[in-house]
Structure 1
Amino acid sequence: MPAHIDIVAGGNPGDFTTVRHIRVAGTEREIGQALANAARDAHGAAAGPRRAPDRAVQRARRTWFAANHPILHERMQGVGTAFGVDPTDDAWDLAWLGTYELPAGCSTVFYPGVGVKDGHNLLARNFDFPTLSYSEIIGRAAGSAERPLSSAPWVVECHPDNGYSSITVGIMDVLGAMDGVNSAGLAVSLMADNESATPEPSIVAQVGLSEQQIIRYLLDTCATVDEAKQALLLAKQYYFFVPCHFLVADRSGRSFVWEYSPGHNREFIVEPSPDRPTVCTNHLLHRWPDGATLPDDPKLDGTAALTYHRYRTLSAAVDPGPLVDRDDIRDHFAAVRFTAPVPMARTFWHAVYDLDDSSLAVSFYLGDEDGVSRYTEPRRFALSG
């Protein structure tokens, strides 16, 4: 089935963002080829193919993917076809379709169905990100044609011939994602850990799964939180730019947060009390098991700013509390958005994933007008539709 691509938000003069939606079905190899063609059509040579900096590492990466993530390995074959390169050639890294991955601040809550008026299990998140280009983020002047990194989100809908279908939202890597849900009712969201001191980003690809690849790995291979725990415990993981933690939930109403120690040498599974909402922002929950002891936020500094304040605000809204509906959830997250006049950061989308019907309702940031941030009305995407 040919891929269907359309612009679902922005893209007009004066809009900061252009949001593309792609729906693709077929074999995993066909899906990889379609995503590569779409990324190249949208972003030109920046999408790839990308030279591998170390052939030995790239050979080990391909071997690891073949053994541990065969779905991505098959999609890489399709990427090679789209770009006209041999996928077995160690000169090419075909596991990444985009320009850069960068840290993202965020706020996320999983609402078990027992606390929601219609009984559905819902994962809601604000995706917060700098409004700058890559050059500006690393302290250089932006090039004349350089776009802000957050200006081109993708909604990617995959329907493989075998395995789980999924809907994801992300930026920079069309093969990866920042959050999503699959047809089994598993939802996953990442948030940067900006609390740990002295991070050690790899900057170049390593063997195993990077931040956005972890989202796709879980959605492609897991149906339940128990399966996701095992998959994460078994997988080799690293980070390009910043350590992240991940909120994982399923339609049974269970959830957990996957975290690493500051040295990335220990792994933690943080689970909420039964039937209680799970709140996660940009600090490590295993370090702060009692939210009442959180310190004050030191300053407003980037999208990880106010992580403790946002956590306290969301926790107060959901725990304890009455049954909530989607309007309540929208209000919860509106209270912790980054909007004008906050400098150099915005909440680029607010998403609510319905785990019971494997759907997404998402509104996107369009830009600022007269000192007010503009957002789209929520747009619904459903795997059954």
Structure 2
Amino acid sequence: MSIVKDEPVYDPEVDYGAGGCYMKPRHIIVEGTHEEMGYELAKIAQRDYGVKTLAKYTNATYGEAHRAYMERNFPNMARMSKGVLKAFGLDENDVEHDATQIPYDFTDIPKEAQLKSGDAPFNFCSFVALPIEKSGGGVFTSRNFDIFALNLWKGFLDLPLEEGEYNCWSRSLVLEKRPTEGYKTILVGGMEMLNPYVDGMNEKGLYFTQLSDPFAIGKEGSPPSGAEMSGVPYLALGPLLLEKCATVKEAKKEILMNRVLYRFLTGHMVLVDATGDACIFEIDAKTQHYVFVDRKPNEPLYCTNHPVSSFPDSSTFPKYDPEAEHNTFARMDFLNNLYNNKGNEVFANKGVGPLTKEDAIAMTDSVHCSFVDDKIAEAGKKERTLLNTTADLSKREFYVNFYVRDVEPVPGTNKMKDMMTKRYTFGF
């Protein structure tokens, strides 16, 4: 049991020409026991992604508690961690290091050049799930992963990158795990080797995706692993659900039996399954209650970057500048208007036939993030749609395209025309 595949998704220069290619994703397939997979992925992180050490807990008490929590609530991760510790030459009973994540491509900022509040606004990503009732029985979702086309964190301070430092998600991953026991999974994202952030699906057709929610309570920009870790970090919750659940109903119960901790960013999660059941999971900022916003029958489900449980429709939205095209409420209004009033113009069947996955893509394309003046648009610094992940859960397939580079401003607008790759298909 070992690495079945580890190769580039495409050849940047051959497939997309001169001029530079931001995203250079790899497709990795690993199989075996969870311990074996942890070992193999850790070795790849060391060899190809420059990871030399694991993050440390604040003290052994945190390490002991986190290990016990994982053994009880996420046993597959506890097993995988043993392989990670072995790969790093550490004892399997080590409680000093956090072996549940292997982050890569984050850089430290010199103490004399600390980020200030507002330097790196987390306000990104858009999601659409079309109603199964109007899609001929198909379950179609599409999401834009919008984030800064910069290094985390040197890029915000215009600090030069040293050899071996990379921009965020530029070395993205499509990771397929085929365990000897449990569900097969596909994860699309990057910045972490065991469970790349931020999309995933299992062989049963359960899908999750994570979006920023800056209204939630947590320390944005904090280290993703180690330190005062407890419970399951938000960015690892989706993979936990994929390995234990087959439906949205099962996933809801599993979430309610866990303690979810925000690290790196605060967010909310969309869950969809092969029956068309869908919901948004949020942690209420005032009460800290876990809440679910369910898709209504015959209606789509949208998610941008505000808590839908607190702002359920346009009547509850605050005012925003019409030029702020990337404003979270503006995007939600735009998606609603497109679906309800412009389907006969943009949808494949012109509003008179079943909805298709191409219609889901058309909707997320309409809120694609690429602007000349980020501040006017209310986007982050050099924020771009780095990848779009579209899914047909009835087929258990992902269709992903990746950001290549900017091309030119669109005359008369604040839009920046950019180049994306063709769509690549991944499935079981």
TM over 0.5: yes
Matches within 5 A, 1:368-379: 368-370=406-408, 372-379=417-424
RMSD of Structure 2 on Structure 1 (CA):
2.4
Of 265, 268, 275, 1:245 maps to 268
Deviations 1:4-31 (A, max 9, x none): 1111046547111210110111111111
Of 117, 121, 124, 2:139 maps to 121
Do the aligned residues in 2 keep the contact of 1:155 with 1:170 (CA within 8 Å)?
Answer: yes
Question: What amino acid maps onto 2:356 in structure 1?
Answer: D
Offset, 1:263: 4.5
Do the aligned residues in 2 keep the contact of 1:108 with 1:124 (CA within 8 Å)?
Answer: yes
Offset, 1:170: 1.5
Local SS of the residue matching 1:181: strand
Instruction: Identify the residue that residue 24 of structure 1 maps to in structure 2.
Output: 30
Matches within 5 A, 1:158-237: 158-176=177-195, 177-196=197-216, 199-201=218-220, 203=223, 204-237=227-260
Q: Distance in 2 between matches of 1:239 and 1:31?
A: 26
Q: 1:218 to 1:264 in 2, by over 3 A?
A: farther
Do the aligned residues in 1 keep the contact of 2:85 with 2:99 (CA within 8 Å)?
Answer: yes
Offset, 1:217: 0.7
Do the aligned residues in 1 keep the contact of 2:55 with 2:97 (CA within 8 Å)?
Answer: yes
Q: 1:262 to 1:299 in 2, by over 3 A?
A: farther
Offset, 1:141: 2.3
Instruction: Identify the residue that residue 378 of structure 2 maps to in structure 1.
Output: none
- The answer on 1:269 being equivalent to 2:292 is yes
Instruction: Identify the residue that residue 167 of structure 2 maps to in structure 1.
Output: 148
- The answer on 1:43 being equivalent to 2:49 is yes
Offset, 1:49: 2.9
Q: 1:270 to 1:380 in 2, by over 3 A?
A: same
Instruction: Identify the residue that residue 6 of structure 2 maps to in structure 1.
Output: 5
Moved more, 252-261 or 7-16: 7-16
Offset, 1:163: 1.1
Moved more, 34-43 or 95-104: 95-104
Offset, 1:296: 3.2
Q: Distance in 1 between matches of 2:189 and 2:150?
A: 17
Deviations 1:148-170 (A, max 9, x none): 11211111111111111111112
Structure 2 unaligned runs (5+)? 108-119, 344-350, 375-381, 410-416
Deviations 1:97-150 (A, max 9, x none): 123499571111112322225x31122110000112123356472433332112
Of 167, 176, 194, 1:157 maps to 176
Structure 1 unaligned runs (5+)? none
Q: Distance in 2 between matches of 1:42 and 1:21?
A: 13
Which contiguous aligned blocks of 4+ residues in structure 1 show a shift greater than 6 angstroms?
none
Give the structure-1-normalised TM-score: 0.91
Q: 1:190 to 1:60 in 2, by over 3 A?
A: same
Do the aligned residues in 2 keep the contact of 1:276 with 1:319 (CA within 8 Å)?
Answer: no
Offset, 1:205: 5.0
Instruction: Identify the residue that residue 258 of structure 1 maps to in structure 2.
Output: 281
Moved more, 81-90 or 214-223: 81-90
Instruction: Identify the residue that residue 400 of structure 2 maps to in structure 1.
Output: 362
Deviations 1:201-233 (A, max 9, x none): 564451111122011111111101110000100
Instruction: Count residues in correspondence.
Output: 378
